[in-house]
Each structure stands twice: as C-alpha cells, then as structure tokens.
Amino acid sequence: MAFAPLDPILHNQLRLAVVSLLVGVERADFNYLLEHTGATRGNLSTQLTRLKEAGYISVKKSFKDNYPNTSCALTAKGLKAFETYVGAIKGYLDT
C-alpha cells in the first residue's frame, strides 16, 4: 500500500503546532503563539516566515501601545493543507 506523502511545510513540529493553534482560533498574536508553542522568538519568527511564504498563513503587522505587534491567521490554502496533512497522518496511523 502506498502512503500519501506528508507536506514538508507542515511536517515540522513548530510549524505544525502553529497551524494547529490557528485552526482553533481566528487570529493570534506573536506572543500568544510564543507562549503556547514554547518556541524561541527567533525560531518562531523563522517558521512563521516559512508558513507565510507557503501561503498557509497571513501575517498582519501593526502597532499596539506603541510597540510593534504581529498577528497571524490561517488562510484557506493553509486550512486545506492542514486537512490533507491530518488525512495522510491518519492513513499512517491506521495501517
């Protein structure tokens, strides 16, 4: 039996954690993602850029109380990719 290939963008623990969080919320700030994933600022920033470049998340930069604020939301493409990834993972686990 052939296994469905896993999306390399999502098959990374931090990127998968970010996308899974964003599936459950509509929009989340950088600090919220930082707190809930336990990642370092640098690593999270790098992985958010990867997800943004892949078109899986949208990133909005603004100012909150005079400090820069980054908030992220899942795109339709990101949600589709996540659903496909979960389907593929289930295929692996069911065999």
Closest CB 55 distance from other proteins, rounded Å: 20
- In single-letter form, the type of residue at position 85 comes to Y
CA dihedral 42, 22, 9, 13 (to 10 degrees): 60
Q: Rule CB under 8 A: is residue 76 a binding residue for other proteins?
A: no
Which of 1, 67, 71, 75 is the binder for other proteins (CB under 8 A)?
71
Q: Rule CB under 8 A: is residue 93 a binding residue for other proteins?
A: yes
Judge whether 70 and 47 are in contact, CB under 8 Å: no
Please report, as residue ranges, which positions from 27 to 56 form the binding site for other proteins (by CB under 8 A): 27-32, 36-39, 43
Distances (CA, A) of 11 to 6, 15, 61, 76, 81: 7, 8, 26, 18, 11
Q: Rule CB under 8 A: is residue 59 a binding residue for other proteins?
A: no
Which residues of the chain form contacts with other proteins (CB under 8 A)? Answer: 11-14, 16-17, 20-32, 36-39, 43, 64-65, 71, 85-86, 89-90, 92-93
